Structure 1
Amino acid sequence: MLSKPDKPDGTRERKYVLTRRLDRLFLELHRVFAFNIRFFKELVVPPFEFKEFIKQCFEAGVKSLPLISLTGFIIGIVFTNQSRPSLAEFGATSWLPALISIAIVRALAPLVTALIAAGRVGSSIGAELGSMRVTEQIDAMEVSATNPFNFLVVTRVLATTLMIPTLAMYTTLIALLGGYVNVSQMEQTSFATYFSQVFGAITFLDVFSAIIKSFVFGFTIGMVGCYKGYHSSKGTEGVGKAANSSVVTAMFLIFIEELIALQIINAIRAT
C-alpha cells in the first residue's frame, strides 16, 4: 500500500528552495551595489587610462555610426509614413513636421539609440570582459600591479555614458532628415519651412530631458555589460551567457528608466 506524501516535509522543502532563491537574489543585489560603489571610487583615483578611454569611445561611438545612421533615417521615413494617414483624416498634414520633431526628440531617438547600443556595444563589452575573466587575463593584470577595474570597467562605462548622448543627438538629426525627405516628396515642403516647424515645436525641456535620459541609458549599458562580463564564470559557456545577459538586462532597465523619466518629465510639464 502506497503511503501518502509527507506534507510537512514537502512544505519544508519548498521553503528551503524559496530561501535559497532569496539568498541568491540578495547576494546578487549586494554585488551589484558594491560594483557601482567601486566604480565611483575608482573614477577619482589615478592613474587615468586616457588612451584606453579614447579607444573605447571609438569602439562605442564611431563604429556604431553606420548602423545608427541607417536606423535613424529609416525611423524618420517610417514614422512619417505611418503618421500621415491619421493627420490627413483631419486635414492636418501641415502639422506633420511638428509631430515628427516631438516624437523623435522626446522618445524615439534616445530610446532607439540606447537599444541599438545595448545590442551592439553592451554585448561586445560583456563578451570581451567575460572572455578575459575565464582566460584569467584579469587575474594576470592584478598580479602585474595593474588595476584591471580602472583599466577595463571605468573606461568603458565612461565611454558609453558620453557616447550614447552624442549618438542620440546624431540619430535625431538623421531621423529628422529622413522625415524631411518624405515630407518634401509628398507635400512639397521646403527645407526652411520644414525645419522652422520642427524647431518651433520642441522646447528646451524636450532637448534637456532627451540628453539626460541618454546619459542614464549610456551609463546603464556600460555598467551592465561590465558587471556581467567582469563576474563571468563557467568557461566559454559563461562568456555567451554574459553577452546575452548584458543585452537582455540592459534593455529591460532602459525601458524601466524610460518609464520613470516619462513620469518625471510629465510632472514637470504639469507644474
Structure 2
Amino acid sequence: MFYSLGRYILLLRLSFKKPEKFSVYWHEVMREMVSVGIGSLGIISIISVFIGAVATIQVAFQLSSPLVPQSIAGGISRDSTILEFSPTISALVLAGRVGSSMASQLGTMRVTEQIDALEIMGVNAPGFLVAPKVIAGISMIPLLTIISVGLGLCGGYLACVITRDISPADFVAGLQDGFNPVIITVCAVKSVVYGFLITSICCYNGFYTEGGALQVGESATRGVVFSCIFILFADLIVSSMLL
C-alpha cells in the first residue's frame, strides 16, 4: 500500500515538472479539455435533467401534507441538487466515462512500449501524458458541474409543469427562498477535488500497467473502482468540513 502511494506521489511530482516545450504541452491540455468537457456534455445533460425531475417528484411526494407549503419543495430540490446530486453523481458518471478512457489510453501506450520510447528520447512522459489530463479534469469537471446544476433545476421545473404535483410558481418561489451561498462553495470544492481524484487515480493505474491487453482492461476497471471509492470518501470529508 505504501509502495503504491509512493509511486502515486512520485508520478504527480514528475507530472508537474517544468515542461521542456510549453507550446506542445498547451496543445495537449486543450485537446484533453475538449475531450473531457465537450465529450461528456451529452451524458451529463441527460442525467442532470432526469435527476432534477425525479428529485422534485420525490420531494413533492414526501411533502404532500396540507400543513407544509409547496414552495419548500423548490428549496429542498435546489439544495440537494447543488450540494450532492450534481457534483457527486456527475463525478461518478465521469469516472466511468473519462477515467476509464484515460486509464485505457495510458495502459495501451505502456504495454505497446510507447511510453518507454518517450522516456528513451528524453521526454518527461508523466508531464506530457498525465499533467494535461489532470489539468483538464480540474478545469472542466467544475464547468460540467455548473451545467449539471442548471439543467437539474430546469428538470425539476419541467417535472412541476408536467405532473402538477407542485405549481411551477411555488417551485420557483422555493428556489429563491432562503438561499445560503455556502452551498455554492461546497459544490465548487467538491467538483475540483473530484476532478483531481478521477484523473490522477485513473492515470496512475493506466501509467503503471504491466502485462498485455487483458491487464489494460483490468487497470481501467481498477482505476474507475478506486476513483468511485475516493469520490465518496472525499464527499464525506468535504461535507463534514464545510457544512
Residue by residue over 1:122-176, the C-alpha shift from the partner in whole angstroms, topping out at 9 and shown as x without a partner, is: 0000000000000000111122333221111000000011111000110000000
Contact 1:102 1:201 in 2 (8 A): no
Cα distance in 1, alignment partners of residues 210 and 178 from structure 2 = 50
1:5 match:
none
Which structure has the higher relative contact order (CA within 8 Å, separation 6+)? 2
Q: Is the 8 A contact 1:60 1:160 kept in 2?
A: yes
**Does the Cα contact within 8 Å between 1:101 and 1:199 map onto a contact in 2?**
no
What's 1:47 paired with? 21
1:177 to 2:154 alignment = yes
CA displacement at 1:259 relative to structure 2: 0.3
Counterpart amino acid of residue 179 in structure 1? G
The AA in structure 1 aligned to 2:31 is K
Matches within 5 A, 1:1-271: 25-40=1-16, 42=17, 44-48=18-22, 49-89=25-65, 90-185=67-162, 186=164, 187-190=166-169, 194-266=171-243
Query: 2:21 corresponds to which letter in structure 1?
Result: P
How much does 1:46 deviate? 4.4
How far apart are the structure 2 equivalents of 1:156 and 1:36? 12
State which structure, 1 or 2, has the greater radius of gyration over its C-alpha atoms: 1
For residue 229 of structure 1, give the secondary structure of its aligned residue in structure 2. Answer: helix
Question: What CA distance in whole angstroms lies between the structure 2 residues aligned with 1:85 and 1:128?
Answer: 45
Work out whether residues 105 and 206 of structure 1, in 8 Å CA contact, stay in contact via their aligned partners in 2: yes
Indicate the residue corresponding to 1:21 in structure 2: none
Q: Tell me the amino acid that sits aligned with residue 70 of structure 2.
A: T
CA contact (8 A) 1:157 1:222 kept: yes
Aligned equivalents of 2:116, 2:179: Cα separation in 1? 50
Q: Percent identity?
A: 30
Kindly indicate whether the alpha-carbon contact (under 8 Å) linking 2:70 and 2:171 is maintained by their aligned counterparts in 1.
Answer: no
Contact 2:186 2:239 in 1 (8 A): no
- In the superposition, the TM-score normalised over structure 1's length comes to 0.83
The Cα offsets for residues 158-210 of structure 1, whole Å up to 9 and x where unpaired, read as 001111100011000000000001123313324xx644531434322110111
Separation in 2, partners of 1:189, 1:26? 54
Match of 1:9 in 2: none
Please give the alpha-carbon distance, in whole angstroms, between the structure 2 residues aligned to 1:197 and 1:92: 9
CA RMSD in angstroms comes to 1.5
TM score, norm. by length of structure 2:
0.93
2: CA distance, partners of 1:203 / 1:46:
45
